[in-house]
Structure 1
Amino acid sequence: MTEIERLLDQFRRAYNGDSWAGPSLTATLQGVTAAQAASHPLAGAHSIWEIILHLETWIRTVYRRIEQNKLLGPTDAENWPSLPEATDEGAWQQAQARLGQAHEQLLARISHLRDADLSRELEPVPDYPAGTPGPYYVLLHGLVQHHLYHTGQIALLRKAFA
């Protein structure tokens, strides 16, 4: 198995597979209603829906970084987007579908990389000082870790509904 294949496996496990850390993101979201997703059961914490939008932002950001080989970052507004005006079940399902589409697009992009690409460094971007330089290897493993971190947050938020 190549390192790219291992990374793809880790992304799949974190998103909708058999994750070592616990239930996958999609398993953790199962049964969450739009009202629950939009609520703030813990003071000062993001809602489940806000976390989903944030995860989509970072999947798309990593995709752009690979496409352009630059340490591009989201704006503050993109990093934690506001909820849509309509927070009904249809909008919640659309948010989850967009997340799934972004996930699949990123996996397709990663599948075209070679193991040798994992040591490639992203070019810094002067107007994005928050970017942490590093090779693709760190970028991609970091995104898997990001998925798992926020999946844990969602699991804790869900406990507030019990």
Structure 2
Amino acid sequence: MYRQGIIELLRRTFDGAAWHGPAVMETLRKVSSDQLGQRIGNSHSLIEIVEHMTAWRRFTIEKLRGNTTYDVNDAANYPRVEPNEESWTITLQQFEDSQTMLLEQLEQTNDSLLEQTVEGRNYSFYVLLHGIIHHDVYHLGQIVLLMKGQ
């Protein structure tokens, strides 16, 4: 029951019909190549933020798969990516793939897992999954600001 609600929130936040406004992919599909390297002050670039979002989605997928040793290292957390159309195509595809893999993994997960603590952390899978949704929305706000800063 809870799992299906999380799946629905992940879909809405990612693909559309989100309560907060445009969904993540609705926004990312409007990014122009000249916005990819956009920064405000010494912030991360737009493409680096999407790479960061993908890294934490991979973390979530790996933890759901039972990979107790997986973690996000510094290089994956905010990788330096050349902001061009080729790298954007790859980044965006990897981000979309992470959504597919996350939803597929959740479909195979039992609701009882949501109550369990994530190995090496002090929170449950329920908190982690809601956290990944909040994480996407938080960074979506940054991306929108970066797009407007152009």
Is TM more than 0.5 here? yes
Residue 21 of structure 1 corresponds to which residue in structure 2? 20
Deviation per residue, 1:99-145 (Å, 9 max, x gap): 10111001100111122211011222xxxxxxx41111001000000
CA-atom RMSD, angstroms? Answer: 1.5
Asked if residue 115 in structure 1 is aligned to residue 115 in structure 2, the reply is no
CA deviation after TM superposition for structure 1 residue 89, in Å = 1.6
Residue 88 of structure 1 corresponds to which residue in structure 2? 84
Counterparts of 2:110 and 2:80 in 1: how far apart (Å)? 36
Normalised TM-score (structure 2): 0.93
Counterparts of 2:73 and 2:143 in 1: how far apart (Å)? 23
Residue 74 of structure 1 corresponds to which residue in structure 2? 72
Counterparts of 1:95 and 1:155 in 2: how far apart (Å)? 17
Normalised TM-score (structure 1): 0.86
Counterparts of 1:150 and 1:55 in 2: how far apart (Å)? 8
Counterparts of 1:3 and 1:123 in 2: how far apart (Å)? 20
Determine if contact 1:71/1:133 at 8 Å carries over to the other structure.
no
Determine if contact 1:59/1:102 at 8 Å carries over to the other structure.
yes
Counterparts of 2:38 and 2:137 in 1: how far apart (Å)? 21
Gapped regions of structure 1 (runs ≥ 5): 125-131
Gapped regions of structure 2 (runs ≥ 5): none
Determine if contact 1:25/1:147 at 8 Å carries over to the other structure.
yes
CA deviation after TM superposition for structure 1 residue 39, in Å = 2.5
How many residues matched? 150
Counterparts of 1:34 and 1:8 in 2: how far apart (Å)? 31
Q: What SS class does the counterpart of residue 19 from structure 1 fall into?
A: coil
Percent identity, please. Answer: 29
CA deviation after TM superposition for structure 1 residue 83, in Å = 0.2
Counterparts of 1:70 and 1:53 in 2: how far apart (Å)? 22
Counterparts of 1:68 and 1:4 in 2: how far apart (Å)? 17
Which runs of structure 2 are paired with 1:4-83 in the superposition (5 Å)?
4-40=3-39, 42-68=40-66, 70=68, 72-83=70-81
List, as ranges, runs of 4+ consecutive aligned residues in structure 1 with deviation greater than 6 Å: none
Counterparts of 2:32 and 2:133 in 1: how far apart (Å)? 25
Partner AA of 2:77 in structure 1: N
Whose Rg is larger? 1
